[in-house]
Amino acid sequence: MKRIVRQLISCTFAATLVIFAGGLLQGCTIATEESDDSPAVEYPDTPNSRISIAHLKALCRADRTIITDDISIEGHVIANDLYGEFIKSIIVADESGCIEISVDCESTAEVFFVGARLVVSCTSLALGDYGGRIILGSSASDDYSVGRIAEWDFSRYFLIDASKPKEIIPQVVKISEINTSHIGNYVEFRKVSFTDGGTAEWCDKDEEGDYITTERKITDSSDNEFSVRTIAECAYRNETLPQSQCTLRGIIEYFNGDYSLRIVNHQIIVE
């Protein structure tokens, strides 16, 4: 299969706006955004070796599992560094779930557009178990379970098709329903409130005045509590937390027994 990387840098914001302009639908599905003005673009067929993202994640049975079989996954990009929420990584989803891919790219938003179709040839890459969360990346790593896929290898591993963006719909869940099956997946919490809403910022500062990765607590109407994790590079790190009830959409993260939510594409809907 010929692998092509399409880098349409000027279309980053346009593609993102197309994805979210129509809102999000119920369920874990993918909806097509068609445009009659877009020229027809031919891309290679999905290889016969394709497996689901859930199947791929199930192959990780150690801190690092190097993939030797000729397999691939196909999905659509749902998160990049457009708002600084994910740095040096992207989140890709199919109907079975999501996976984080570690990439050595200065601006993932300019390469891996939100909504773009992505085929990943997984042969020689590695799956890493990071405290219970599965990440796909380079097998060349001494310090972590997986390394970042080098930018010069993108044409080897990735086929990126941004010609017809797709809308990815999160799974609507309650805090009390979160379990291991949600780890790494895209969810929506409704009618939740921040315990520090209206007073604290998304991120705290250290003694030198630099922002640091911070976890804030949210609660629902039944007083169930959950953590929202925001990294220091986030574009809205200095904004004040919503004071009223809100809807949050993001990725469920997990590390050694602790769950948290990381917001995707600044999807914070205040009621």
Domains of the chain: 9-32+48-168 (2.40.50.140), 171-270 (2.40.50.140)
Q: Phi/psi class of residue 129: alpha, beta or left (left: φ > 0; alpha: ψ in -120 to 50)?
A: beta
Closest Cα to residue 90, out of 110, 75, 73, 112? Answer: 112
Q: What is the pLDDT of residue 35?
A: 42
Q: What is the pLDDT of residue 140?
A: 80
Chain mean position to CA 209:
29
Mean pLDDT over the full length of the chain: 85
> Can you give the pLDDT at residue 142?
64
pLDDT under 70: residue ranges of the chain: 1-48, 141-144
- Which residue shows structure tokens 């791929």? 56
pLDDT at 263 (0 to 100): 98
Query: pTM for the full model?
Result: 0.82
- CA R_g for the chain: 18
Please tell me the predicted confidence (pLDDT) of residue 54.
96
pLDDT value at residue 179: 96
Q: Are strands 117-121 and 72-79 parallel, antiparallel or unpaired?
A: antiparallel
pLDDT confidence of residue 145: 80
Q: What does the alpha-carbon distance between residue 204 and residue 194 come to, in Å, rounded to a whole number? A: 15
pLDDT of residue 143: 67
CB burial readout 239-260, b (16+ within 10 A) else e:
eebbeebbbbbbbbbbeeeebb
First-to-last CA distance in the chain? 48
What pLDDT is stored for residue 65 in this prediction?
Answer: 93
For residue 144 the two structure tokens come to 């972590």
